[in-house]
Amino acid sequence: KALKIAQKASVNTKASTISQRIDWIKDVVKKLSKNKEDIAQTLCDEVGKPITFARIEVDRCIETLKLSNIAMVNSHGETINTDAMPSGKKTTSYWFREPVGVVACITPFNFPLNLVAHKIAPALVSGNAVVLKPTPEAPLTAFKFVKLFIESEFAIKDAISIVYGDVEVGSTLVESDIPRVLSFTGSVPVGNIITKTAGIKKLALELGGNAATYIDKSGDIQLAASRCTFGAFINSGQVCISLQRIYVDEEVYDEFAQAMKHETEKLIVGSPYDDDTFVGPLINDEACQRAKSWVINAIEEGAVCLTGNKIKGLNFYPTVMTEVTDDMKIVCEEVFAPIVSLVKVKSYETAIEKMNNSPYGLQFSIFTNDLKQTQSFIHDANCGGIVINDIPTLRFDIQPYGGTKLSGIGKEGPSFAIEEFTEIKSVVIC
């Protein structure tokens, strides 16, 4: 029913002016700005995100909305010189972008506000109707956000709907012929199912990763340790670009390992409602037990736990592992928990080979002061995004975001999402 309503509404969204849609997004920004603390508290309640970072997510969401408006203003077509062809004499030609019609969006629990914004704001401002299926873990966060769109004086009737449910609801969105684009953020197994059952429609899939960094002997070791600690344990490791593998030059390995241990043990683990908490709970007990079993398996296979490996309630303490091998689950699969592995390497060449030896390719980084090495890394890293002298967990909402290999298809970031949610139409005037 929601899909059919959206299909009818898409006629009006396409006919609306860009100015109206921009005013709509601006109004949502205004309303959200007045309700920041309520939304942040709801985030904290539903997914256990530490309140400090919940507030940051609300701020990021506001920026994503603003960036979507800017991206739409800057979206453009261009002329085509068909008169350069002998047969094109006296023709005038150009192309422009128009909305696809209906966009179906399925969003995850780890950023249940900002990742919704990354999908619905570019879709709506570019003239589409949207059906959103939010994560079952954060239904109220999504509801409060979508309600701001629906209640706006600039709203286009029925342009956005929200549906709840699990596999059956998701399958209906995926298999229906009504959505012309399906935008999904989630796991690789579900992504595989989507690609096999979606039929002929555009897919934008963000499926996770196994982010890695290399610490060169020329890099700032203390800075690297501090930033890597942040990148590995922010949001309790429940981030697609959470730092999971750290390859360290053997000459500075011991120094880095001790610095990372020191930085990790300074982190405050506790209630998400406390302003000082850095590491809050995992999403559920199943996630805790999974993380624990992976660490235990690694230790049984010869790995050493430098710090962490402790559970209190749903809090899994930040865990740093050493003496790992490439085939251990904590190294080769996506952990999605506060666990990071340190690997000693003899050279940059060994590090980049190991980094690329992964079915994932979302984001990598390097800490180095060697310019030639930096230039090599830019071309050698087989992934969608790289960061120099900071963590791969770094993401600016304005940038293109998306990976290679099993990390997905397509790009997020407002201007890039607008490209995903529109089609090129070519015009020739004779």
Cβ pair 68, 96 in contact under 8 A: no
pTM of structure: 0.96
With a CB cutoff of 8 Å and minimum separation 6, the contacts of 214 are 247, 248, 249, 345, 348, 351, 352, 355, 364, 365, 366, 367, 368, 377
162 and 83 part of one domain: yes
228 and 275 part of one domain: yes
pLDDT at 117: 99
- Domain holding 234: CATH number? 3.40.309.10
Strand 360-361, strand 404-405: pairing: antiparallel
pLDDT at 391: 99
pLDDT at 57: 99
302 and 357 part of one domain: yes
186 and 246 part of one domain: no
74 and 179 part of one domain: yes
Residue closest to 224 by CA, chosen among 313, 335, 340, 302: 340
pLDDT at 102: 99
pLDDT at 155: 98
3-state secondary structure of 172: helix
pLDDT at 1: 87
Catalytically active residues, by annotation: 206, 240
Residue closest to 353 by CA, chosen among 245, 278, 238: 245
Strand 304-307, strand 319-322: pairing: antiparallel
In a domain, 323, yes or no: yes
153 and 294 part of one domain: no
pLDDT at 166: 85
Neighbours of 220 (CB within 10 A): 14
Q: What range does the domain containing 365 cover?
A: 211-388
In a domain, 239, yes or no: yes
pLDDT at 154: 98
Alpha-carbon distances of 347 from 327, 343, 378, 392, rounded to whole Å: 20, 12, 17, 20
168 and 101 part of one domain: yes
In a domain, 395, yes or no: no
In a domain, 402, yes or no: no
Rounded mean pLDDT for each run of 10 residues along the chain, 430 residues in total: 96 98 99 98 98 99 99 97 95 98 98 99 99 97 98 98 93 97 97 96 97 98 99 98 99 98 98 98 98 98 98 98 98 98 98 98 98 98 98 98 98 98 98
Buried b (16+ CB within 10 A) or exposed e, 113-125: bbbbbbbbbbbbb
Cβ pair 279, 317 in contact under 8 A: yes
127 and 219 part of one domain: no
Cβ pair 237, 338 in contact under 8 A: yes
In a domain, 397, yes or no: no
| 328-381 tens-digit pLDDT | 999 999 999 999 999 999 999 999 999 999 999 999 999 999 999 999 999 999
In a domain, 169, yes or no: yes
In a domain, 420, yes or no: yes
In a domain, 241, yes or no: yes
> What are residue 342's DSSP bridge partners?
246
Domain count, the chain: 2
123 and 267 part of one domain: no
243 and 335 part of one domain: yes
238 and 176 part of one domain: no
230 and 150 part of one domain: no
